[in-house]
Copies of this chain bind each other. A is one copy, B any other.
């Protein structure tokens, strides 16, 4: 029970969390494994199997109570608290990220924003003041920042990643197309919709 989840299980549980959060917002209070399956494209049996490894959370003939399943999954993933992250890059993408509710909904707080451009420093992005990237190290320490989101052009991505890594950040989200060289203990998540699209296209064309 104290065992670490496999990567696959943790990824799927996170996706169930997203569906439950949205279903709750849409006013639902109960959900079946089949409904979760429709939204996640994970097989309904697999979902029941994933959940039943941790306890009997559902009611036969009825389904799962959304509120209680939400807290069970948050407990399993140990992500109940608030987590602080930093946004690097205050361009259009940075603004879009800062103004999106997508992080806040999952207890993730964008605690700081940075840019290299002196014209941008001191301005606001959402409700957040933009700081000089040279202050990153201190801010990361002061605000207990655990992850960084790179919303910078590909040409600046490595420098920005280096700054985060030097400051002690071990989780980096890369929204540029650049490949990042980081130490082995740093997790890089690269978002590349074009690559996903090529993948989707393959199944569309065949």
Contacts and interface: CB of A to CB of B under 8 A. Distances in A.
Number of copies: 2
Contact of A199 (B11, B91, B105, B146): B11
Interface in A179-202: 179, 187, 189-202
A137 interface: no
A170 interface: yes
A31 to B, nearest CB: 11
Interface in A1-45: 4-5, 7, 10-11, 14-15, 17-19, 21-23, 26, 39
A105 B171 contact: no
A106 B198 contact: yes
Interface in A72-113: 77-79, 83, 85, 91-93, 95-97, 99-103, 105-106, 108
A77 B198 contact: yes
Given A191-B191, A204-B187, A198 B103 contact: no
A173 interface: yes
A140 interface: no
B23 A179 contact: yes
8 contacts: A14-B195, A19-B179, A21-B177, A77-B202, A93-B100, A103-B197, A173-B197, A187-B204
Given A108-B198, A149-B193, 18 more contacts: A14-B195, A18-B177, A22-B177, A23-B179, A79-B205, A83-B197, A92-B93, A93-B96, A96-B151, A100-B177, A105-B194, A106-B194, A106-B195, A108-B194, A171-B200, A171-B201, A187-B204, A189-B196
